[in-house]
Amino acid sequence: EVQLVESGGGLVQAGGSLRLSCTASGFSFDEFAIGWFRQAPGKEREEISCFSHSDHITEYADSVKGRFTISSDVAGNTVYLQMNSLKPEDTAVYFCAADEDCLTITSMAPDELDYWGQGTQVTVSS
């Protein structure tokens, strides 16, 4: 059974940092790419980053470029999202998702992606 579990969310002041984790089970990173998404109240789910170990791809949305960094522990089947210089507008529920590659993750509607985690809340206070 494929499963994604996010962790690491919390409450932080503006300018602070958090590191989110997305741990996968039931598949390896050679089989799937991992996308990070976020959804703020009243807004659509937004893709912010994508990582593909097999394609050697790491991508970021303009809204987080330079502040967020993806890293991975392939042996541990975990992808991390290091979030620095957080802003109140980064407040959202953060999700990771898996599908065959970053092109698929970027181009398909979120509800068409194969696998999702349950999400973790990130709140940035001003």
| Cα separation, 97 vs 106, whole angstroms | 11
Whole-number pLDDT of residue 47: 96
Closest to 68 in 3D by CA, of 57, 84, 55: 84
Whole-number pLDDT of residue 35: 95
How deeply is 101 buried, as exposed, middle or buried, from its count of CB atoms within 10 A (0-12, 13-18, 19+)?
middle
| Cα separation, 126 vs 35, whole angstroms | 27
Whole-number pLDDT of residue 87: 98
What does the chain come to in residues?
126
Whole-number pLDDT of residue 1: 86
| Cα separation, 94 vs 121, whole angstroms | 6
Task: Quote the percentage of the chain above a pLDDT of 90.
Answer: 79
Cβ neighbours of residue 50 closer than 8 Å, sequence gap 6 or more: 33, 34, 35, 36, 57, 58, 59, 102, 105, 106
Whole-number pLDDT of residue 108: 85
Whole-number pLDDT of residue 34: 94
Whole-number pLDDT of residue 84: 98
| Cα separation, 71 vs 124, whole angstroms | 22
Whole-number pLDDT of residue 74: 84
The tokens for 94 are 């953060």
Residues of the chain with confidence (pLDDT) below 70: none
Whole-number pLDDT of residue 112: 87
SS3 content of the chain, % helix, strand, coil (to 5): 10, 50, 40
Identity of the residue numbered 79: V
Whole-number pLDDT of residue 28: 79
Whole-number pLDDT of residue 17: 98
